[in-house]
Amino acid sequence: MKNLLDGKIAIVTGGNGGIGLGIAEGFAEEGAKVIIASRNKEKNNSAIQKIKNISKDSTTFELDVNNQDSINSLMDFAIKEYGSIDILVNNAGISRRSDEPHLLPKSDWNDVIDTNLNSIHHMTSAVFPHLKKNKSGKIINIGSMMSIFGNANSAAYAASKGGVVQYTKSCAIAWAKYNIQINTILPGWIVTDMTNEFKKVNPKRYASIAGRTPAERWGIPKDLAGTAIFLSSSFSDFVNGVSIPVDGGYSVM
């Protein structure tokens, strides 16, 4: 039986851990060749060993999503290595917390907006010519529950993830004529390095989240893989500009 992503070339930013790695593993299992594109060389090398057990033709690239030269080099590398780019997952992201929004330093605000929102525009703009040339392509942006809800302690993060949803809609409208579909996944509460930090900061809130979630548990990174595979496959060719919560039902409560 043919895999859903056989022969596809997929770039996953922030793919060396957490949600990104869960998606990258799912892609590899469905036949894609995956480029894990992240800053940390050591984590990249560790992650690619897991991927190569599934897809030996996958590789890594040391990417700074806030550096245009680095982004351009990634595109050149992908084309030289594989001859094409079919899928982009904009997953790289950070968070900075403060007791109230006005207490967040300007530098922290700028870091979050640059990494979570501006970089998506720069990455997407860089990959667009290659997808247009192919007359097809899939882009998946990773939003958050904070794309829907506000958060007093993470104002920059919520603002950036809300912006991701609106940016996705704008690109979907513009690029449908090129047979490019761009959608957003909104992860719920997923066990990652980022949320482990939240566990240390607010253990009571962390413990209460499973009870607030109809699935009665936190998610794991692999829970995102199925939706990402669907949005990267031909089965989603008529799905464009949508935001899909993957949250165990958290957002419907």
- Look at phi and psi of residue 179 and say left if phi exceeds 0, alpha if psi is from -120 to 50, else beta: left
User: Is 157 a known active-site residue?
Assistant: yes
| SS3 category, 148 | coil
The catalytic residue among 157, 178, 206, 250 is 157
Q: CA–CA separation, 196 vs 202, rounded Å?
A: 10
Q: Which residues pair with 87 in a beta bridge?
A: 10, 138
Running DSSP on this structure, what letter comes out for residue 31? T
Instruction: Name residue, tokens 């300007």.
Output: 106
Running DSSP on this structure, what letter comes out for residue 234? G
Among candidate residues 144, 100, 140, the one with its CA nearest the CA of residue 123: 140
Tokens (6 digits) for 117: 């929102």
Residues annotated as catalytic are: 157
